[in-house]
Amino acid sequence: MKIQLLFTGKTRFPFIREGIEEYRRRLVHYTDFQIRDLPDLRNSGSWPEKKVKGEEGKNILKAIDPRDYVVLLDERGKHMDSLAFAGLLEKLQYGSFRTLLFVIGGPYGFAGEIHQRADLELSLSKMTFSHQLARLIFLEQLYRAYTIIRGEPYHHG
């Protein structure tokens, strides 16, 4: 099974890009892992929030295969600790879907049709993070989950 992280727009801050690359390098030792970034919307700076979410939603839906298991990372999603997330990940690895696809939306979140397509919605925290920083935080948690599954000494919980 493949695992992918899908997000909209380029990662702007160098320190976040470096962290993402570090965890990507670590994760490929555990699983078939890829990062897919969708292009930024062009000339959208003056668009209303609803239009931005709608256009990003169309792009996200085009990127999802019907055989994917889609997990939205959304502030309104289910909360779980690192051990529970590792357990969920271990269970999902034996699913009949092609790809386990984690999706992080843009600065305004997800359009309604993306929520409808999701198989699961998870929250990274009760706090709100920028969509840029959420990418790095999620990858650290994904890496942590694999070390928990393998019984490696990274997690000290």
SS in 3 state form for 130-141? CHHHHHHHHHHH
The answer to whether residue 78 scores a pLDDT higher than 80 is: yes
pTM: 0.94
From residue 102, how far is each of 8, 37, 89 by CA, in Å?
12, 12, 11
> Domain boundaries in the chain?
2-149
Average pLDDT over residues 12-37: 97
pLDDT in tens, 25-71: 999 999 999 999 998 877 667 788 888 889 899 999 999 999 999 99
Give phi and psi for 142, each to the nearest 5. Answer: -65, -45
Instruction: Determine the CATH number of domain 2-149.
Output: 3.40.1280.10
Q: Which of 51, 61, 47 is nearest to 6 (CA)?
A: 61
3-class secondary structure, 3: strand
pLDDT in tens, 131-148: 999 999 999 999 999 999
Confidence class of residue 9 from pLDDT cuts 50, 70 and 90?
confident
Tell me the average pLDDT of the chain: 94
Strand order in the sheet with 99-104: 32-38, 2-8, 99-104, 69-78, 120-122
**According to the model, what pLDDT value does residue 43 have?**
67
Q: Which of 70, 68, 75, 59 is nearest to 118 (CA)?
A: 70
What the block records as the tokens of 156 is 């000290």
Average pLDDT over residues 121-133: 94
From residue 110, how far is each of 116, 128, 136, 144 by CA, in Å?
10, 15, 19, 26
β-pair partners for 102: 5, 71
